[in-house]
Amino acid sequence: MLGLAQNAVAQYSYDDDLYYDNRVTYELDGHMGAMNCLTDLGGGKGTGKKFIKDLNPGKSQFSGGIFLSAAYRYAIVLRAEATWGSVKADDKVLAKVKETTLGRYDRNLSFKSIVYEVMLAAEIHPRYFKKYKKGEKLPRLSPYLMGGVGYFSFNPKAKLNDLWIDLQPLSTEGQGFSEYPNRKFYRLKQLNFPVGAGIKYKISPLFNFTAECVYRILHTDYLDDVSTRYIDQAVFSNHFMGEQLFQAQSLHDRQKELNAAHISTKDDIRGNPNNNDAYFTINLKLGVVF
Give pLDDT tens digits for 47-97: 777 777 788 999 999 999 999 999 998 899 999 999 999 999 999 999 999
Q: Which pTM does this prediction carry?
A: 0.89
C-beta separation of 74 from 66 below 8 A: no
- Residue 165, domain member (yes or no): yes
- Residue 4, domain member (yes or no): no
Number of structural domains found in the chain: 1
Which residues of the chain are modeled with pLDDT < 70? 1-21
- Residue 65, domain member (yes or no): yes
Distance of CA 41 to the CA centre of its chain: 15
The predicted pLDDT at position 7 comes to: 52
- Residue 2, domain member (yes or no): no
The predicted pLDDT at position 18 comes to: 47
- 159: Cβ contacts below 8 Å, ≥ 6 apart: 110, 165
The predicted pLDDT at position 127 comes to: 94
- Residue 237, domain member (yes or no): yes
- Residue 78, domain member (yes or no): yes
- Residue 1, domain member (yes or no): no
How far is residue 131's CA from residue 269's CA, in Å, rounded to a whole number? 57
How far is residue 219's CA from residue 149's CA, in Å, rounded to a whole number? 12
The predicted pLDDT at position 109 comes to: 97
The predicted pLDDT at position 13 comes to: 43
Count the Cβ atoms, other than its own, within 10 Å of residue 233: 15
Could you say which DSSP state residue 15 is in?
Answer: T
End-to-end CA distance of the chain: 24
Looking at 76-209, list the stretches that DSSP marks H as alpha helix, in order from N- to C-terminal side. Answer: 104-107
The predicted pLDDT at position 9 comes to: 44
How far is residue 191's CA from residue 151's CA, in Å, rounded to a whole number? 4
Looking up residue 275, the CATH number of its domain turns out to be: 2.40.160.20
Backbone angles phi, psi at 260, to 5 degrees: -60, -20
Backbone angles phi, psi at 271, to 5 degrees: -155, -175
How far is residue 119's CA from residue 66's CA, in Å, rounded to a whole number? 11
- Residue 105, domain member (yes or no): yes
Domain extent for 50: 15-289
The predicted pLDDT at position 121 comes to: 98
The predicted pLDDT at position 11 comes to: 40
Tell how strand 76-90 and strand 24-38 pair up: unpaired
User: What sign does the CA torsion over 223, 229, 230, 235 have?
Assistant: negative
